Amino acid sequence: MKISDFIPQIKTSNKIQKTKASSGPGLSATQAASGTDRVEISASSLDVQKMKGIIQSTPDVRMDRVQALKEQIERGDYEVDPYRVADKMLISLLSESGVMGN
């Protein structure tokens, strides 16, 4: 199960502003003289990039959790909550059918 399955899609404009330096208001003399290009990335795009990095560095399988569950099963301590399973099944069914705002 991937963490990205639980994170809602974030809509950003993904616009990058590229401006050609010219002798205009708001430009320093160095920028105007050198004619350099400048790229500005929005704060929300930077946040999305950070989140992608975190998600990509997170393993798909939490081995510590898997091992703990295996040990519980072997000891006979693992119990399934039928109400919780039923709730998750209904939520999954409703979200797939579009009833829950997909």
* DSSP secondary structure, 54-90, as one string: HHHHS-SS-HHHHHHHHHHHHHT-----HHHHHHHHH
Strands (E), 25-100: 37-41
Digit-coded pLDDT (tens) for 43-92: 888 899 999 999 888 888 889 999 999 999 999 999 999 999 999 999 99
Digit-coded pLDDT (tens) for 33-53: 567 888 888 888 889 999 999
Question: Please, are residues 2 and 54 in contact by the beta-carbon 8 Å criterion?
Answer: no
Measured in residues, the chain has a length of 102
Question: Please, are residues 18 and 38 in contact by the beta-carbon 8 Å criterion?
Answer: yes
Q: How far apart are CA 87 and CA 80, in angstroms?
A: 13
Q: How far apart are CA 96 and CA 94, in angstroms?
A: 5
